[in-house]
């Protein structure tokens, strides 16, 4: 779901235009600075990610441009790249590893919506993170470290982000239940899951916290030393902090390692111990389990929604294939609820 | 009667071409997309091969479970509604087995290499289909 939110004059469609615009920005990032080697890293439907080198004399610094598709298309549910940049800065101040934001695009830049951040070296592909030999030492402590990072993340000041949506667990379930009903395609396993989620829903949290919303293997930059950056803040919101601890345990993000619930690299007890030791609220085990079930339901509803997207705005094979991954979540839900 | 080879066979051949020729002789996004397209075709080939028998079995189970007749879509909607209303639950005889049988049949078409599917088959002592290379 995207809307053409900005004026046609804001549109930047080609790498050539981008290079011209970025060269102008480079002059402000560094005196006499220019850019080179601009290349697109992802063909993401929700965001563009570009890499380029900032050249200052003999010095070259790799930077990342994260930008709305075409500079202008703004997703209705995402928080907006300007807010995402603010979140990165606020997270960094709390000790959450994040890239440094170097510049937030302004209308004068003529490049649309987005921001420029430092390039963090490492691995984000989940399949490699759970298998790569070079990351074996990191996998020993990664679950615990994720807990520590989340404890710091959950100390961020939610009050500083009044633009973020505030959602209780019950409201989140209701939102996905409505999306499922609107899809008009019966999935008895989903009905079973919603029935269970509604019957066992945790109470409204005592304290609503800033929640990353997509904290999982695949959105973390990992090196042999562990978590180097927490990425993709576009669905951050204010809610129950347990959501983040459950999402990273959701089976969809284990990349084949069903025996290692935390991201396919660690055990829940280590995640929780890291969280509690670093100052996070005590983890209630039954709530943690609820959020894992919620995670499989959520990703299941998201996958099934790809069928409509495929028939609409994005008729790509990739989109069709994600829609056909809904069944993965159905078996995950059955393993959780009807083993 | 249509001629040979079958849609399933031709789709299999196109998938192989995409994987072994197009994906191999291109790079970057094009190579990746060719592999995705090959996987999509293989999924569709399995659907052509497996779904008719599985759909018949699912329909028979739904009729027995709900005690009424209808199309697969109608009876699935009725089942979904009855679960949502709390009329049927995991204590209902045949209900849990039906959900499992239906889900495993879907995975056999959609995602036969999914780790949780293979783990389930192993736990049940069933033979997992060979892992695709």
**Most distant CA atoms of chain B, gap in Å:** 56
Per-residue pLDDT of chain A (339 residues; tens, 9 = 90+): 333 333 333 344 567 788 989 999 999 899 899 999 999 887 555 678 999 999 999 999 999 999 987 766 555 557 889 999 999 999 999 999 999 999 999 999 989 899 999 999 999 999 999 999 999 999 999 999 999 999 999 999 999 999 999 999 999 999 999 999 999 999 999 999 999 999 999 999 989 999 999 999 999 999 999 999 999 999 999 999 999 999 999 999 999 999 999 999 999 999 999 999 999 999 999 999 999 999 999 999 999 999 999 999 889 999 999 999 999 999 999 999 999
CA distance A93 to B56: 59
Are the CB atoms for B43 and B106 separated by under 8 Å?
A: no
Chain A nearest-CA residue for B106: A327
Where along chain A do its domains lie? 2-118, 126-337
CA distance B98 to B118: 19
DSSP letter at B21? I
Q: Per the domain annotation, does B131 fall within a domain?
A: no
CA distance A323 to A315: 12
Residue A203 neighbours by CB under 8 Å, 6+ apart: none
- Residues A190, A196, A201, CA angle at the centre, nearest 5°? 120
Please determine, looking at this structure, whether the domain spanning A126-337 carries the CATH number 3.30.2350.10. no
Are the CB atoms for A241 and A205 separated by under 8 Å?
A: yes
Are the CB atoms for A227 and A138 separated by under 8 Å?
A: no
Contacts of A190 in chain B (CB under 8 A): 80
Minimum-distance CB partner of A327 among B73, B106, B120: B106
Q: Which of the four pLDDT bands, split at 50, 70 and 90, describes residue B130?
A: low
Count of A-B CB contacts under 8 Å: 85
pLDDT of residue A45: 57
Strand, helix or coil for residue B49: helix
- Residues B86, B91, B97, CA angle at the centre, nearest 5°? 105
pLDDT at B83 > cutoff 50: yes
**3-state helix, strand and coil shares in percent for chain B, rounded to the nearest 5:** 70, 0, 30
Minimum-distance CB partner of B90 among A190, A317, A338: A338
Domains held by chain B: number: 1
Domain span at residue B113 reads 7-123
Are the CB atoms for A263 and A253 separated by under 8 Å?
A: yes
Handedness of CA A315, A181, A236, A96 (dihedral sign): negative
Q: Which of the four pLDDT bands, split at 50, 70 and 90, describes residue B131?
A: low
pLDDT of residue A14: 65
Contacts of B15 in chain A (CB under 8 A): none
CA distance A275 to A291: 16
Give me the residues paired with residue A166 across strands: A238
Instruction: Give A281→chain B minimum CA distance, Å.
Output: 31
Q: How many other CB atoms are found less than 10 A from the CB of residue A305?
A: 19
The H-assigned helical ranges of chain A are 15-29, 81-93, 126-131, 136-153, 169-183, 188-199, 242-247, 268-277, 285-311, 317-323, 326-337
pLDDT in tens, B51-69: 999 999 999 999 999 999 9
Minimum-distance CB partner of B106 among A43, A330, A332: A330
Tell which phi-psi region holds residue A218, choosing left (phi > 0), alpha (psi between -120 and 50) or beta: left
Q: How many other CB atoms are found less than 10 A from the CB of residue A257?
A: 20
Residues 262-321 of A with CB under 8 A from B: 317-318, 320-321
Q: Per the domain annotation, does B68 fall within a domain?
A: yes
Q: Per the domain annotation, does B18 fall within a domain?
A: yes
Chain A nearest-CA residue for B36: A318
Q: Which tokens sit at A47? A: 């965001």
CATH fold of the domain at A2-118? Phosphorylase Kinase; domain 1 (3.30.200)
Q: How far is CA B57 from CA A244, A260, B54, B60, B70, in A?
A: 40, 35, 5, 5, 14
């Amino acid at each position: 779901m995207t809307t053409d939110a900005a004026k046609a004059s804001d549109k930047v469609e080609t790498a050539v235009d981008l290079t011209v615009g970025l060269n102008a920005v480079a002059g402000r990032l560094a005196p006499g600075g220019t850019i080179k080697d601009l290349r697109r890293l992802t063909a993401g439907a929700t965001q563009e990610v570009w890499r380029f080198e900032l050249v200052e004399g003999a010095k070259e610094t790799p930077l990342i441009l994260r930008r709305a598709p075409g500079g202008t298309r703004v997703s209705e549910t995402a928080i907006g790249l300007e807010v995402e940049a603010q979140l990165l800065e606020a997270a960094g101040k709390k000790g959450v590893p994040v890239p440094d934001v170097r510049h937030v695009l302004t209308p004068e830049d003529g490049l649309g919506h987005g921001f420029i951040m430092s390039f963090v070296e490492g691995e984000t592909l989940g399949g490699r993170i759970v298998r790569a030999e070079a990351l074996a030492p990191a996998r020993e402590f990664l679950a615990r470290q994720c807990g520590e990072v989340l404890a710091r993340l959950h100390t961020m000041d939610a009050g500083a982000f009044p633009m973020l949506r505030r959602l209780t667990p019950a409201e989140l379930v209701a939102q996905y239940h409505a999306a499922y009903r609107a899809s008009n395609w019966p999935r008895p396993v989903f009905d079973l899951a919603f029935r269970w989620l509604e019957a066992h829903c945790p109470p409204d949290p005592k304290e609503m916290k800033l929640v990353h919303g997509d904290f999982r293997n695949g959105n973390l930059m990992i090196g042999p030393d562990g978590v180097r950056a927490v990425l993709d803040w576009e669905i951050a919101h204010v809610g129950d902090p347990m959501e983040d601890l459950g999402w990273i345990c959701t089976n969809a993000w284990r990349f084949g390692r069903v025996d290692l619930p935390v991201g396919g690299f660690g055990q829940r007890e280590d995640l929780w111990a890291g969280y509690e030791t670093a100052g996070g609220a005590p983890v209630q085990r039954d709530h943690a389990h609820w959020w894992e079930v919620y995670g499989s339901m959520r990703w299941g509803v998201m996958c099934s929604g790809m069928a409509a997207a495929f028939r609409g705005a994005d008729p790509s094979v990739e989109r069709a294939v994600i829609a056909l991954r809904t069944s993965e979540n159905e078996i995950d839900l059955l393993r959780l609820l009807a083993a | 009667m249509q001629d040979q080879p079958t849609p399933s066979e031709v789709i299999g051949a196109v998938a192989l071409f995409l994987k072994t020729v197009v994906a191999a002789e291109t790079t970057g996004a094009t190579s990746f997309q060719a592999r995705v397209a090959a996987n999509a075709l293989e999924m569709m080939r399995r659907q052509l091969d497996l779904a008719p028998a599985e759909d018949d079995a699912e329909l028979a189970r739904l009729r027995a479970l709900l005690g009424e007749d209808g199309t697969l879509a109608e009876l699935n909607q009725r089942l979904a509604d009855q679960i949502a209303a709390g009329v049927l639950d995991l204590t209902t005889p045949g209900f849990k087995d039906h959900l499992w049988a239906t889900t495993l049949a879907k995975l056999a078409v959609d995602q036969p290499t999914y780790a949780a599917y293979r783990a389930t088959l192993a736990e049940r002592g069933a033979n997992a289909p060979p892992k695709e290379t």
